């Protein structure tokens, strides 16, 4: 399982670099009922990740990815090309001055915040671009079902870090965490494009090389 973790954890960490999700969760926990609304948002954001992971793993089982190195290699090449395109799009398209998603104000109702979390993750291309390849690595690994589920759960938790870390900080030290979270938000806003380029191109090249190597 060690080699599987070595392949999935970096992709999950890359998927956690999501300025939009971070901005939205800060808006959620800045109002009344911050903990209830924050938990509702995080729970909602978990739903699309579970759905995507289930679909990818079931599809992998349907084509017997662990026993089909050719199919695994082809999928790696396709995903690598997609990540390269993802990184290139950030290189050639400058971000808008206004942070994407910053204009979407979450409801003060925890139930609506839950729905807001679902919508936020469903449309979060940055996170899903890395999450899908991570789950594919899990689906193609020859490991026990229990290990596959454990690594999938760990991957989801890491990807949810932009929602869970601010929530935990607000619960433990609401006043002291405000400045730190604001500083991190500004850093992600300023460096998000560069990170997207580096991570997209880097992991794209890795998956392409991995897929081509498996076909050789």
pLDDT at 106 over 50: yes
Per mean pLDDT, which of 19-23, 60-64, 77-81, 176-180 is the most reliable?
Answer: 77-81
pLDDT at 131 over 80: yes
Tokens read off for 187: 């850093």
Q: For 101, phi and psi rounded to 5 degrees?
A: 90, -15
Quote the pTM value.
0.85
pLDDT at 101 over 70: no
For the segment 40-61, what is each residue's pLDDT rounded down to a tens digit?
999 999 999 999 999 999 998 8
Alpha carbon 189 to chain centroid, angstroms: 17
pLDDT at 97 over 60: no
CA–CA gap between residue 199 and residue 108 (Å, rounded): 35
DSSP code per residue over 17-72: --HHHHHHHHHHTTSTTHHHHHHHHHHHHHHHHHHHHHHHHHHHHHTTGGG-HHHH
Position of tokens 């940055």? 126
CA–CA gap between residue 7 and residue 137 (Å, rounded): 7
If we measure between CA atoms, which residue out of 95, 91, 83 comes closest to residue 201?
A: 83
Contact 60, 76 (CB under 8 A): no
Contact 53, 124 (CB under 8 A): no
Sign of the four-CA dihedral 25, 47, 11, 3: positive
CA–CA gap between residue 108 and residue 23 (Å, rounded): 16
Mean pLDDT of the chain: 86
């Amino acid at each position: 399982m060690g080699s599987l973790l070595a392949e999935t954890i970096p992709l999950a960490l890359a998927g956690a670099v999501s300025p939009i999700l971070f901005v939205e969760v800060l808006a959620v926990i800045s109002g009344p009922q911050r903990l209830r609304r924050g938990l509702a948002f995080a729970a909602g954001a978990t739903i699309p990740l579970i759905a995507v992971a289930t679909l990818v793993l079931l599809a992998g089982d349907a084509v017997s990815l662990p026993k089909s190195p050719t199919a695994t290699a082809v999928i790696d090449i396709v995903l690598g090309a997609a990540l390269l395109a993802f990184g290139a799009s950030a290189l050639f398209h400058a971000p808008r001055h206004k942070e994407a998603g910053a204009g979407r104000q979450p409801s003060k109702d925890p139930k609506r915040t839950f729905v807001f979390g679902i919508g936020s993750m469903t449309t979060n291309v940055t996170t899903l671009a890395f999450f899908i390849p991570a789950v594919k690595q899990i689906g193609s690994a020859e490991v026990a079902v229990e290990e596959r589920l454990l690594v999938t759960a760990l991957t989801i938790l890491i990807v949810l870090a932009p929602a869970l870390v601010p929530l935990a900080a607000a619960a433990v030290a609401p006043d002291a965490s405000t400045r730190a979270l604001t500083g991190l938000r500004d850093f992600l806003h300023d460096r998000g494009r560069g990170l997207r380029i580096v991570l997209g191109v880097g992991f794209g090249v890795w998956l392409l090389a991995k897929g081509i190597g498996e076909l050789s």
